[in-house]
Amino acid sequence: MEGGYGVGAYNVNNMEQVQGIMAAAGEMKAPVILQASRGALKYGKMIYLRKLMEAAVEDNPDIPIAIHLDHGNGFEACKLAISLGFTSVMIDGSLKEDSKTPTTYDENVAVTKKVVKYAHERGVSVEGELGTLGGIEDGVGSGKVLLTEPDQAQQFIEETRVDALALAIGTSHGAYKFKRAPTLAMDIIDEVKTRCPDTPLVMHGSSSVPDELVAIINRYGGDMPNTMGVPISSIQEAIKRGICKINVDTDNRLALTGAIRKFMAEHPEEFDSRKYLGAGRAAMTELLKGKMRAFGTAGHAGDYEPKTLEDMRKHYAEG
Ligand code: G3H
Ligand code: 13P
Ligand code: ZN
């Protein structure tokens, strides 16, 4: 990953999300990571989601796209994603296979090493995670925040040879992250970056939960309590300090839901699903164009040389 900006990694579950993201990436000429959780793969019966992501690649030859497994919960989940043609996988060894119980450092190293060996032999890159995020409402997270310890992060990267590392700096998944403006542990990014300057660092739980998106949902019949996400300014600071992959799911869900609610309220007679899903897709594209500008990704589609999995396999084999 090139320096100086953060590439958004956006979760996808259906066609409208894939198209909404790709429309923004195309307009902004931004590299993009499409990522699927295990829940998304189950919902999309795997084959449908894989084909949708393949379609995004085929339809956007000038946009660099990584197809990524988000929060793989064990070796088998990563192996499955690799068999589906994903170009990178995350093994979230910070939690046990239930995606809730924190593991020990040694357990995390063991499963991550196993995935790295298997993935690199097939040219697939791997994201690991050390430390845990809070937030359990979306099913991923221990509910307890265990911040990443920088010395341990260096040891983890050296022992496992992961390509990228997700840091826990105080964010959490989902819409209910904070009650007031958060203070994130930015110094952890500096300290890991100093120790491991060549390892791309990842920030999960990066949705900003914009007030205006929550307001639209509530104005049109929704019921979301007051909440705060990660301010864009904090994400920009994290990027300056070394974060280069930024995971966003919740904000896209909010944009999609709000636009659908609004459309249905304003057009009670309408029952053509293309109308309200189209409105949701357009709302996501608008949201993401803003993020791609804010994260500095806009205009960087030309920074990457296309590489096949075979190129990457040789690269890993050379050590
Ligand atoms: O990290 C979690 C992502 O938001 C995916 O959520 O498991 O509900 O698909 P999901
Ligand atoms: P958000 O819930 O903040 O969008 O985080 C998504 C995420 O980290 C996916 O891995
Ligand atoms: Zn995550």
Q: Which residues contact 87 (CB under 8 A, 6 or more apart)?
A: 66, 67, 68, 124, 125, 309
Q: What percentage of the chain carries pLDDT values higher than 90? A: 92
Sign of torsion, CA 237 177 42 89?
Answer: positive
Please report how many Cα atoms fall inside a 13 Å half-sphere around the Cα of residue 317, on the Cβ side. Answer: 9
Residue 241: phi and psi, rounded to 5, are: -85, -10
- In this structure, the residue with its CA closest to atom 9 of ligand 2 is 247
Residues linked to residue 88 through DSSP beta bridges, in sequence order: 68, 125
Q: Is the CB of 204 under 6 A from ligand 2?
A: yes
- Grouping H, G, I as helix, E, B as strand and the rest as coil, residue 240 is helix
Whether domain 7-302 has CATH 3.20.20.70? yes
> Which residue in 228, 188, 222 sits closest to 207, CA to CA?
228
**Cα–Cα distance, 152 to 154 (Å, whole number):** 5
Closest ligand 1 atom to Cα of 139 = 7
Per residue in 71-116, pLDDT (tens digit) is 999 999 999 999 999 999 999 999 999 988 999 999 999 999 999 9
Annotation marks residue 70 as catalytic: yes
For range 197-209, the mean pLDDT = 97
Name the DSSP class of 175.
Answer: S
Rg (CA), the chain: 19
Per residue in 218-249, pLDDT (tens digit) is 999 999 999 999 999 999 999 999 999 999 99
**Which is the catalytic residue, given 62, 70, 138, 251?**
70
Per residue in 112-155, pLDDT (tens digit) is 999 999 999 999 999 999 998 865 434 555 556 689 999 999 99
Please give the mean pLDDT across all residues of the chain: 94
Amino acid identity at 262: K
Q: Is the CB of 113 under 6 A from ligand 1?
A: no
**Cα–Cα distance, 238 to 187 (Å, whole number):** 9
Residues linked to residue 166 through DSSP beta bridges, in sequence order: 129, 202
Closest ligand 1 atom to Cα of 13 = 9
